[in-house]
Structures are given as C-alpha cells and as structure tokens.
Amino acid sequence: MTPPFVVLSLPRSRSAWLAHWLAGVAQMPVGHDLAIEADSIDQWLGQVARGYRGTCETGAVEVWPILRRSIPTCRIITVHRPLGAVCASLRAAGYEPPMDDLTRRSAALERLAGQAGVMAFPFDALNDPRWCAVLQEHALGMPFDWPTWREASDLNVQVKRDVRLARLAERRPQIERLRAELIDRLAEHRPFVSVGEERWADVADECERLGAVHHAEATAGVEGAFRLNREAMQQLADAGLWRVFVARVDGTLAGYCCWTHETNLEAAAPKTMAHGPFYVSPEYARHKLGMGLLRAASDVLTAEGYRVLRLHHTMHGRGARAGRLYEALGAVEYQREYIWRVGADA
C-alpha cells in the first residue's frame, strides 16, 4: 500500500498552498483541513488512508498519537511557524486567534516533531526549493518536480475567510463531538479498521503471507502445496482482470477478498465478477470484516457496471459456513462443484 502523508501545522502556515502544490506533483487529490468535515476520528483516518494521497491539516495535530498507531506507515511532516507570527497573520486576515487552542496545538506540534520518523520544517523553508525538494520526496516518495514547484511558488493560495468561518459555525456541534472523542481515544486505544481496494502490486507480499494460512485452513491439503503464480496474477492485475479488496486493522492486513473478471463463452451474460480467495484472520473476527469486504467490493464493482458477483466457498474450516454470510447479503445458491480424482494417483 502506498503510504499516505499528513502535513500538520498551525493556521496561516501555507497549508492550503502545500495541498495545492503536492496535489499537482502527485496528480492525485490532496486534502486540506479534512478534519473540519469529519464526523468521527475514524472517518478522518479513513480519508487519510484511502480517500486522498495525503492531507495538510491546521487543526488536527493533537490526534497524532492515534494517527501513528492507526496508520503506522503514514509519513508525517510538521511545519513550524512562531505562535506570535501565526496570531498576527490571523488578525491581518480577519480572524480572531483562539489563543487557548493555538497554544495547546503549538505544544503538541513541538512534541510531535521530536518523534522518530517525523520530518520537521521551519515555515520560512517553504520559500526555498532545496527544503521543498526534501519535503516533497518524503511526502510522496517521488523525485523533486522542479517545474511544478516553480509554477506553484508564484501562487498565493488562500482559504476564503467568510466561507471558512461560515463552515466552522455550521459544523460546530460535530467539531465539539470530535474533540470529545479525541479525549476518549487518547485515553483508551480503539483499533482503526479500514476496508477498501488496493493495487495487487502493493499488497501481493502481504496477501501471500496470509494466503499460506488461508490455504491450510480452506483446503485441508486437498489441493496440494500452497504456491501463488505471482507472474500470472500480476499480468491479470495489469489487465484489470484481477482485483483485490483488503481489510486492515491498525495498518495490519487482516483479510482479503479477490475477484476475477469473468467472460461467458456461452451466453450474453451481464457484466460479471467471479469470487476468488476470501479470508479473514480469526483473530479479527470481532470486527466483522467478511461482511465489510463483500460490501466494499459490491459498492465499487456495482458503480463500474458489474451486475453479477459469483460467490463460492470451500467445505473445509470456516469456509463451510460462508454460505450463510452470502445469503444474508441476498445471494442465492446457483451451482455446486465436485472433485473427481482419476488416474493412477486417484
């Protein structure tokens, strides 16, 4: 999985410009102050993990202990502007500085900057392409894009004050609930569960490790030794014919649900995906990830025009009970398969 990034700073620290510039380099969406629109910490974490390439946040620094536990691979960057300069800039832009909040966030930002793996930058460094090259390469894992930075460096990207103030007022109840949840989550860890599609090339190694355990449970040795044909699977993935949805708990792969595009040579069948390997590690059973994986796949594939999802299960281990899960989703039994062993080794 390509690691996301989060840039954390105080307001008036060129966060909107950073989001604009890094989105131009990545050619992917980069968020800005996503926390304002989040109804829960998990919703914000979900946006960080899957909704965007990364995000630049001015009010979310206090969530950093949860972020580091929930998305361990996330690349975290801090931008530091003196508190007095932040307040002066806020007043010049027509905002009244919330001093208590800013003081608390400034202290949290300094604590975070001292953590292993966090890259800290002074505010003034954002005018220097040498510093920006380091920042971009850390955030995106890509060589410095000088033309994009040069074009962005001349831009003055600002949040519209009236729009921001109106939205903050409108979202005040949700923001207060988010702050209360933050206090609870900092006091007691709650696992972050994330379900969604990922590129096969990014997850193949993890899936292969978990697949060895899955194979032993699901086949009871009937199909022979476990061995993935990685080359063939990658070719199918490159052609868009092999898709994988994964579940993660605090960043660890907990399960997968794979699909293969099906071509019907006998009938003008609707666009169909055939269910492939489907497994959730038993230690994560309480999170009901099996249902989550199937629903996530259904949502994405339905939006792409698929109208039939062909499901299957084995008769060994927990697979023998999977039919009840499929029926709960509205699937109906269609056919059965048999193994007929022939020849001298039968």
Sheet strands side by side (includes 252-262):
193-198, 242-249, 252-262, 272-280, 308-310
What are the tens digits of pLDDT across the range 134-150?
A: 999 999 999 999 999 99
pTM of the model: 0.90
Residue 1: is its pLDDT beyond 80?
Answer: no
Mean of the per-residue pLDDT values of the chain? 95
What is the enclosing helix (H) or strand (E) of 308? Answer: strand 308-310
d(CA 61, CA 110): 10
**Structure confidence at residue 87 (pLDDT):** 98
**pLDDT tens for each residue of 52-105:** 999 999 999 999 999 999 999 999 999 999 999 999 999 999 999 999 999 999
User: Please, what are the domains in the chain?
Assistant: 5-187 (3.40.50.300), 193-328 (3.40.630.30)
Rounded to an integer, what distance in angstroms lies between the CA atom of residue 306 and that of residue 308? 6
How far apart are the C-alpha atoms of 79 and 86, rounded to whole Å?
A: 12
116-125, 127-136, 214-223: range with lowest mean pLDDT: 214-223
- What's the confidence (pLDDT) of residue 213? 93
Query: How many CB atoms neighbour CB 259 within 10 A?
Result: 24
H helices, E strands: number in the chain: 13, 10
The sign of the CA dihedral 263, 267, 270, 275 is negative
Arithmetic mean of pLDDT, 154-163: 95
Q: pLDDT tens, 310-320? A: 999 988 888 88
Q: Which residue has the higher pLDDT, 295 or 338?
A: 295
Nearest to 274 by CA among 233, 306, 318, 314: 306
- In sequence order, the β-bridge partners of residue 57 are 8
Q: Is the pLDDT reported for residue 346 higher than 70? A: no
Give the mean pLDDT of 104-126: 97
Which tokens belong to 55? 């995000």
pLDDT confidence of residue 314:
86
E strand residue ranges, the chain: 5-8, 30-32, 54-57, 75-80, 119-122, 193-198, 242-249, 252-262, 272-280, 308-310
